[in-house]
Amino acid sequence: MINFEEELKRFQPIPEVNQAEDAIYSNDLKDISDIVFQVTEEMKSASEDVANRMVGRVRR
């Protein structure tokens, strides 16, 4: 049996025309290339950290 209250929760207000800009900004999702780019940047910074630590140890 349909639970009206539960079903009503599925319906959300729709954006009006003056809220279209917000809809555009909120719609900018991440794709595979963004994720790969993020992962490579993290790996790059991690490797730089390791290199800096190594250099610090050598200097000491």
Residues that bind other proteins (CB under 8 A): 1-2, 4, 7-8, 10-11, 13-20, 23-24, 27-34, 36-37, 40, 44
Residue 17, Ramachandran bin (φ over 0: left; ψ between -120 and 50: alpha; else beta): alpha
Q: Tell me which residue has tokens 């993020």.
A: 38
At closest approach, how far in Å is the CB of 49 from other proteins? Answer: 17
| Min CB(54)–other proteins separation in Å | 21
Nearer Cβ to other proteins, position 1 or 58? 1
Question: Under a CB-based contact definition with an 8 Å cutoff, are residues 51 and 58 in contact?
Answer: no
